[in-house]
Amino acid sequence: MSTGEPTDDEVVQTASDAAEGYVFSQYKQSAVRDLDVTVTFEEGVLEVDVYLNAPETEDGPDAEQVADDAALTAREAVDELFGE
């Protein structure tokens, strides 16, 4: 069990890894044209912004929804980090 809270860097890395992991669970890495995950954690406030450029297909996921879900996944991962 950890004796202190996670560092800001740990929070940012956890959020970033979770968002990228989610995106690549929905798309093959080779299908993603561009992915930008921006995470800031200042004074206890987490901000996650995900930009995703991926092909739209009839039976594939919606890129905008995947980006939104990736940001939510990042927030959940940080919540779990603090919950440990």
pTM over 0.75: yes
Residue 13, domain member (yes or no): yes
In this structure, is residue 3 part of a structural domain? no
pLDDT, position 1: 44
CA distance 28 to 13: 22
pLDDT of residue 23: 97
Q: Is residue 53 part of a domain?
A: yes
| pLDDT of res. 60 | 84
- Residue 57: the pLDDT is 81
In a domain, 38, yes or no: yes
- Looking at the chain, the number of H-run helices and the number of E-run strands are 2, 2
Query: For the chain, what is the domain count?
Result: 1
Annotate 27-66 with b (16+ C-beta within 10 A) or e (fewer).
beeeebeebebebebeeeebebebebebeeeeeebebeeb
Residue 77 — φ and ψ, nearest 5°?
-65, -40
Range of the domain at 52: 8-83
Nearest Cα residue to 16 out of 33, 43, 34, 41: 41
pLDDT at 55: 87
Residue with tokens 């929804």: 65
pLDDT averages per 10-residue partition of the chain, 84 residues: 79 98 96 97 95 89 96 97 84
